[in-house]
């Protein structure tokens, strides 16, 4: 956990450090909206499974306000997709044979982020982001004998990321981004996993 905290602080440090400027095409302030598509990768423990898929497609919608050329606040909603795994039947002392099962974990998040922006050329900017997210997860298990179980869980934790933005016009930009969501809960398995997302998106500034 200390290592994760250091990673978050490093990104937050980048967001703070980029208050030093360079030329940029984008507006210095104002509201913006946007969206992104990408792929998630879950830090899922696949030990003992017969199959395990820890990647899925993701999408996000977002809005924010840029206070100046170097700082913005951003709010978003993201669907992180699903991770799936299958387990074989096994013998559990005191319970007998536990049938084979299929596990599915789905997660969505609301997030609030501080964004530090560093213009590096007329149209290019680097940015770092850090903040909090609220995750809602649905975990379901379907056993080979027809019995199924599902549970929901929620948690609030840190998220951070970094990316590059290219401004097509004064109002329209493209972003390529990596972001990590730390300790997203898994209800049935009573565990937590980090989720990494690589995405490409667009933003429109008013």
Domain-wise residue ranges, the chain = 2-205
pLDDT value for 45: 77
* Structure-block tokens of residue 150: 């599902």
Report d(CA 113, CA 60) in Å as an integer.
Answer: 14
10-residue mean pLDDT profile of the chain (206 residues): values are: 54 48 59 98 82 93 96 97 87 79 92 96 94 94 84 94 96 97 82 94 96
Answer CATH for 2-205 from 3.40.190.10, 1.10.580.10, 3.40.50.720, 2.40.160.20: 2.40.160.20
The number of beta carbons lying within 10 Å of the beta carbon of residue 95 is 7
Q: Which residues of 152-189 are buried (b: 16+ CB within 10 A; e: fewer)?
A: ebeeebbbbbbbebebeeeeebbbebebbbbbbbbbbb
């Amino acid at each position: 956990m200390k290592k994760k905290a250091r990673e978050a602080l490093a990104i937050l440090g980048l967001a703070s450090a980029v208050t030093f400027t360079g030329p940029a095409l984008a507006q210095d302030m104002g509201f913006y909206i946007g969206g992104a598509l990408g792929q998630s990768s879950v830090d899922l423990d696949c030990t003992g499974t017969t199959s395990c898929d820890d990647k899925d497609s993701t999408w996000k919608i977002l809005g924010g306000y840029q206070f100046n050329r170097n700082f913005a606040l951003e709010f978003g909603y993201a669907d992180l997709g699903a991770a799936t795994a299958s387990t074989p039947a096994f013998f559990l002392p005191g319970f007998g044979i536990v049938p084979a099962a299929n596990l599915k974990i789905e997660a969505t998040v609301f997030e609030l982020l501080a964004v530090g922006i560093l213009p590096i050329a007329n149209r290019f900017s680097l940015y770092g982001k850090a903040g909090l997210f609220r995750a809602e997860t649905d975990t379901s298990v379907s056993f080979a004998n027809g019995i199924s179980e599902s549970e929901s869980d929620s948690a609030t934790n840190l998220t951070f990321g970094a990316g590059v933005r290219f401004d097509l016009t004064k109002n329209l930009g493209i972003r390529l981004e990596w972001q990590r969501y730390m300790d997203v809960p898994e209800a049935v398995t009573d565990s937590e996993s980090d989720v990494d997302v690589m995405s490409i998106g667009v933003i429109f500034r008013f």
